[in-house]
Amino acid sequence: MTYEEQLLALAKEDERIVVMTAENRAAIRGLPAQLGERFIDVGICEQTMVGAAAGLALRGRIPVLHALATFLTMRAFEFIRTDIGIGGLPVKLVGAVPGFLSDGNGPTHQALEDIAIMRGIPGMQVFCPADNDELLAGLPAMLATPFPCYIRYNAMPAVVRHHEPFAPGRAEQFGEGNDVALLTYGFLLREVLEAQRLLEAEGLACRVVNLRTLAPLDKDMLLSAVAACGTVVTVEDHFLTGGLYSILAELLLAHGMTASVLAIAMDSRWFRPATLPRVLEHEHFTGAHIARRILHALAPEEEFVRGNGQPLFKTYL
């Protein structure tokens, strides 16, 4: 099933759902003919769309908005914060091509601060699906919640068989290793699982935590991973400030805990536009690069040999 098919099915079940877009129809091209007056395209006017959605929500509707993530979260931020956030209205914001998924676009179209912006609004939920399967699994719950919600749209093919039923605030764990905990969200779960495989081939026992929602947060699973593992790694296609690394730091401080943390994120610059595989390679976010960065952190180059001259790891990726 596609996102469009799932959204249509939910709209047929609940006439309160209204689909809106700011001329961003890529994922919902077939819905105008199906929904009629319940499909509204305002043109390239994200602020107008958000304001209108707030009015619809006040009249009992559940608006589902679609726009490019960078313009939805930044151009319309004041409207989201004031019209939706203050009133706690159940408007659902679907941001297209967030993070590295805006691969071929330059900095003006790169949403690398969207999570920081959206989670700063009290009551805003933030859903970052790893793939199409997780997007479809989470969409009914996100539309049903009475809170406003920001969804980092991601309809990429499934990267893994998800074993944990979706619920806001419930993460998903792969593996039970206690050497390294890799924390991530969104499509980068694919690369992090590959890094896990490579690290375990080096003899490191790893666990991966797929956070799925960053607000609400699965605090118990994060604290458990920190308590159990010697090294914690955060991996995200977002700026270092305000994203998962910041979320983890806030959580640890609140619980009086410390940890050895390696943050893999964009720090102080935007990424170089290219096709997605080349972006990941150039920015060192492939599974192999992530594993290599972790090995560097665990054993700097001058420590890569044991006292007897034998390599510390079987292969240096």
Residues 6 or more apart whose CB falls under 8 angstroms from that of 12 comprise: none
pLDDT at 308: 43
Q: Give me the chain's average pLDDT, please.
A: 94
Two tokens at 19? 């689909």
> Can you tell me the distance from the alpha carbon of 156 to that of 172, in angstroms, rounded to the nearest whole number?
18
Residue 306 — very low, low, confident or very high, per pLDDT cuts 50/70/90? very low
Residue 162 has pLDDT above 80, yes or no: yes
**Secondary structure (3-state) at 207:** strand
Count CB-CB contacts under 10 A for residue 186: 29
Residue 137 has pLDDT above 50, yes or no: yes
Cross-strand pairs, 93? 65, 150
Residue 309 has pLDDT above 90, yes or no: no
Residue 159 — very low, low, confident or very high, per pLDDT cuts 50/70/90? confident
Residue 191 — very low, low, confident or very high, per pLDDT cuts 50/70/90? very high
**What pLDDT digit, counting tens, does each position of 74-94 carry?**
999 999 999 999 999 999 999
Cβ atoms of 277 and 261 closer than 8 Å:
no
Instruction: Please name the residue that has the structure tokens 């969804």.
Output: 151
Helices assigned H by DSSP within the chain:
3-13, 31-35, 46-58, 69-70, 77-79, 114-119, 132-144, 189-201, 219-228, 244-254, 276-282, 287-298
* Burial classification of residue 258, based on how many CB atoms lie within 10 Å of its CB (0-12 exposed, 13-18 middle, 19 or more buried): exposed
Count CB-CB contacts under 10 A for residue 230: 13
* Burial classification of residue 105, based on how many CB atoms lie within 10 Å of its CB (0-12 exposed, 13-18 middle, 19 or more buried): middle
> Can you tell me the distance from the alpha carbon of 157 to that of 135, in angstroms, rounded to the nearest whole number?
11
Backbone angles phi, psi at 182, to 5 degrees: -105, 120
| 172-298 matches 3-152 in CATH topology | yes
Pairing of strands 213-215, 261-266: unpaired
Domain coordinates in residue numbering, the chain: 3-152, 172-298
Backbone angles phi, psi at 9, to 5 degrees: -60, -40
- What is the mean predicted confidence (pLDDT) over 162-190? 96
> Can you tell me the distance from the alpha carbon of 244 to that of 242, in angstroms, rounded to the nearest whole number?
7
Residue 164 has pLDDT above 90, yes or no: no
Residue 284 — very low, low, confident or very high, per pLDDT cuts 50/70/90? very high
- What is the mean predicted confidence (pLDDT) over 4-22? 97
pLDDT at 268: 84
> Can you tell me the distance from the alpha carbon of 140 to that of 143, in angstroms, rounded to the nearest whole number?
5
What's domain 172-298's architecture?
3-Layer(aba) Sandwich (3.40)
For 19, 47, 64, 94, 215, the CA distances from 67, given in Å and listed in that order, are 11, 11, 10, 7, 21
Two tokens at 217? 């947060």
pLDDT at 304: 46
Topology at the third CATH level for domain 3-152 = Rossmann fold (3.40.50)
